[in-house]
Amino acid sequence: MLVKKTRIPVLHIITIGFLPSFLKKFVYRLKGYKIASEVSLSLGCVVIGKDVEIGKKSSIGFFTIIRARKIKIGRFVKIGAMSAIDTESFSIDDDARINEQVYIGGTKTPQSSLTMGKRTIIMQASYINPTMPITIGDDSGIGGHCLLFTHGSWNSVLEGYPVKFAPIHIGKKVWLPWRVFVMPGVSIGDGVVVGADSMLNKDIPANCLVAGSPAKIIKENIPQPLANENKKEILNDIFKEFVQHLNHNDFVTEQKVIPFGFELDIKSKNKHAAVVFCEMEKDATIISKATDTILILNKGIAKQTTGFAMVISLDRNERIGTSDVGEEFVQFISRYGVRFNRLD
């Protein structure tokens, strides 16, 4: 064989993978890797590439292997334990996530690549084959046990059997639940929702629900816009469940009515935080003396209001700043599919 490659980089794992995170980052920086602050590299994980960049507060899990010529990992990215990523180019943007035991690899070509947008996710035990380029747009999710293949071949093409090598494109706000199979050359439009256990073998237009094997369009023009009253009812239910979540985890909460909203005071033995919800930023007032206070708005963020560690806009899905209570709320509301773009 002219081209030789070790399937598992055992020597790299032994010599570098078992180093503690701070020493591993030191060695990688000596090799020319660009690694930002507060990056966590767990025991046994390795990153092997010629052009490597890892953004602030990103983490790579236990015994995960990332190998590519070009690697770009954004800020606040989480890659779980026991995963393997092996392609020519790998790019994952801010706040994206790859869960445990995900395998990304297969037959390589010079075009082999995986590009994941902001706030995307690939869930556990999925197999992604980026022989040809795979792109996943912002806010899209790939469920567990999913299969994405950019090549299909086995029997000889010289005997008349079909062989196909073609990229996969997944748009923004696409949801592929568990056990979805995507064939080579498929392009999925923005806002598409796919039924579980479906197989996609042709292009899917934007904003539709598809299901089946092969998948067929079940419903078009989704989602339908909600009236303001419906939004308020849903938000009220979410806030009530957030309070229940805090109470269940031994926080004492007290809600106070303020102009155009409410303030939620949150206390534990060693923590004092508050959530202020207002229709408009100009209406926000701080009653609580908590230092960890977030402002949640129904409108866009004009500027970061003085006195708030973090500001969130539900209308524009934007956020600025950070705090413990803010990150708790962001993680909680994400279970309802609500995600926020960082302005800082």
Residue 36 belongs to some domain of the structure = yes
Same domain, 53 and 178: yes
Same domain, 70 and 111: yes
Q: Which residue has the higher pLDDT, 137 or 258?
A: 137
The range of the structural domain enclosing residue 298 comes to 228-342
Q: What is the pLDDT of residues 259-305, one digit of tens each?
A: 778 889 999 888 899 998 887 666 666 666 677 888 898 877 765 56
Decide: helix, strand or coil at residue 338: coil
Residue 38 belongs to some domain of the structure = yes
Residue 1 belongs to some domain of the structure = no
Same domain, 23 and 85: yes
Lateral strand order in the sheet of 208-212: 40-41, 59-60, 78-79, 97-98, 121-122, 141-142, 175-176, 193-194, 208-212, 215-220
Same domain, 177 and 256: no
Question: By mean pLDDT, which of 17-21, 60-64, 228-232, 247-251 is the weakest?
Answer: 228-232
Question: By mean pLDDT, which of 11-15, 127-131, 200-204, 258-262 is the weakest?
Answer: 258-262
pLDDT at 327: 95
Amino acid identity, residue 286? I
Q: Rounded CA gap, 292 and 309, in Å? A: 6
C-beta of residue 250 within 8 angstroms of C-beta of residue 266: no
Q: What is the pLDDT of residues 73-103, one digit of tens each?
A: 999 999 999 999 999 999 999 999 999 999 9
Same domain, 249 and 210: no
Q: Is 160 exposed, middle or buried (0-12, 13-18, 19+ CB in 10 A)?
A: exposed
CATH code for position 258: 3.40.1350
pLDDT at 269: 83
Same domain, 210 and 261: no
pLDDT at 182: 98
Residue 65 belongs to some domain of the structure = yes
Same domain, 198 and 312: no
Residue 306 belongs to some domain of the structure = yes
Residue 3 belongs to some domain of the structure = no
pLDDT at 288: 60
Q: What is the pLDDT of residues 168-224, one digit of tens each?
A: 999 999 999 999 999 999 999 999 999 999 999 999 999 999 999 999 999 999 999
H or E, element range at 30: helix 21-30
Residue 5 belongs to some domain of the structure = no
Same domain, 166 and 273: no
pLDDT at 131 over 80: yes
Same domain, 142 and 248: no
CB-facing half-sphere around the CA of 295: CA atoms within 13 A? 28
Same domain, 62 and 139: yes
For the chain, what is the domain count? 2
- Indicate the pLDDT class of residue 306, thresholds 50, 70 and 90: low
Residue 2 belongs to some domain of the structure = no
Domain's final residue, options 165, 190, 220: 220
Domain's final residue, options 220, 240, 261: 220
Domain's final residue, options 169, 192, 220: 220
Amino acid identity, residue 14? I
What would the mean pLDDT of 140-151 be, rounded to a whole number? 97
Q: Rounded CA gap, 43 and 46, in Å? A: 9
Same domain, 184 and 246: no
pLDDT at 297: 87
CATH code for position 123: 2.160.10.10
Same domain, 278 and 328: yes
C-beta of residue 194 within 8 angstroms of C-beta of residue 215: yes
Q: Rounded CA gap, 279 and 302, in Å? A: 13
